[in-house]
Amino acid sequence: MLYIVVMLKSSRSKSKPVTSSAGSRPKARLISSRTVYRGPVFWVTTDEVQEPGSIRARRDIIHHTGSVVVLAVDESGPAPRVLLERQYRHAAKDYLWELPAGRIDAGEKALHAAQRELLEETGYTAAHWRRILNFYASPGFVDETMSVYLATGLRAGPAQPEADEVIHKRMVALSTAIRMVLNATIRDAKTISSVLWLDHEMRGK
């Protein structure tokens, strides 16, 4: 794409193995890498790698500092309720129902980021926090990981959204959230996985 060429910034690296947690299984070998775009939220590299099957290939990778997701649950009533947001997403060209979420700033701890995002986007704070999930958002070409935190003991307060954020929030019963997932009203992957996790946990009690 032309804009990537125009904003080109080269930083080549020497050939080296790509490490992972796969133990002794063969991994790709990084032959070269150059940064082709750097923006305020992510940066892109074009990598030449030798895959485990010995095939040499080009891989364009979007790099991201990681994100947090907050599964905020109100347990004060007879059935749990989940805090959802509705906001416009330009990439989807539509309004989406989602859980509160956001980027981990450079040098920031994931838990602090989760607490910050919940307060900024919704005004809620929580007495209890627990990380329940950690996954890759789209590992085919993005290295972003998402950490989902369960937040309970909620307390309402004024939201502190950023200037470009127009967020409508709503508490919905877990059973309603499940129906929203199954009828495709909720189409956001991080929200789907988190709501299904909570339903599984509740069924086990």
- Which position has the higher pLDDT, 187 or 166? 187
Question: What does the H/E/C string look like for the chain?
Answer: CHHHHHCCCCCCCCCEECCCCCCCCCCCEEEEEEEEEECCCCEEEEEEEECCCCCEEEEEEEECCCEEEEEEEECCCCCCEEEEEEEEECCCCEEEEECCEEECCCCCCHHHHHHHHHHHHHCCEEEEEEEEEEEECCCCCECCEEEEEEEEEEECCCCCCCCCCCCEEEEEEHHHHHHHHHCCCCCCHHHHHHHHHHHHHHHCC
pTM (2 decimals)?
A: 0.83
pLDDT of residue 50: 93
Q: What percent of the chain has pLDDT over 70?
A: 89
